[in-house]
Chains A and B, each alone.
Chain A
């Protein structure tokens, strides 16, 4: 079974601090995604990647950076965290393209920015 692991599971950060959310996948998938999920909104795409060394902006990239140093790892970086970034963050890997792609999600990271 495909595995996507996120760390940490929970994080409390202070406003203005730097936060790094990590994601590791053992599926050897090229595509990886970072989403956030908030009440009243569907999942929203922050950044995604087609492979090691590539990062692309999603629908809401402002305030976030992403890094894909290897096939397995995809990080989301909040350089200056703000309370509006309090959310649940999901990482996913994808095994294909378009309608053929199946997504595998991590368990999520609950981030609170105080």
Chain B
């Protein structure tokens, strides 16, 4: 079945530095989403990017479908960006269900 690997597992930055998060998946995906989980646990959808490049604010996601990978670039990181970033891909043949990665834990120090 579909598997999702995220790297790095954790990342520590100084405020103002950029972050590059990776998501690799084992099978073709028609749906790929990035989520943010706050230190308190709440989850927020960041963007959906099954292919190509998408920007929203300081976030840029690039997905290369045939290489089964996606990246999330966070520019000019802020302390409030600290938290866990999760990648989710749809099930092979069932795009009503998502398979989730374990996430990248990001700490941005002042």
A residues whose Cβ falls under 8 Å from a Cβ of B: 31, 40-45, 48, 58-59, 88, 90, 92, 97-105, 107-108
A-B contact sample (20 more), CB < 8 A, given A99-B95, A105-B44 = A41-B102, A42-B86, A42-B102, A42-B103, A43-B88, A45-B97, A45-B98, A58-B97, A98-B31, A99-B30, A99-B32, A99-B48, A99-B90, A100-B48, A101-B31, A103-B33, A103-B43, A105-B42, A105-B43, A107-B40
Residues of B within 8 A of A105 (CB): 42-44
CB atoms of B45 and A98 under 8 A apart: no
CB-contact partner of B45 in A31, A100, A103, under 8 A: A103
Given A98-B30, A99-B48, A99-B95, check contact A43 B42 (CB 8 Å). Answer: no
CB atoms of A108 and B48 under 8 A apart: no
Residues of B within 8 A of A42 (CB): 4, 86, 88, 99-103
Chain B contact residue count (CB 8 A cutoff): 26
Whole-angstrom CA separation of A32 from B41 in the bound complex: 19
CB atoms of A102 and B48 under 8 A apart: yes
When C-beta atoms are compared, the residue in chain A nearest to B4 turns out to be A42
B50 at the binding interface (Cβ < 8 Å): yes
Whole-angstrom CA separation of A53 from B101 in the bound complex: 31
CB atoms of B95 and A48 under 8 A apart: no
B56 at the binding interface (Cβ < 8 Å): no
Residues of A within 8 A of B100 (CB): 42-44
Given A58-B97, A99-B30, check contact A40 B41 (CB 8 Å). Answer: no
Whole-angstrom CA separation of A40 from B100 in the bound complex: 11
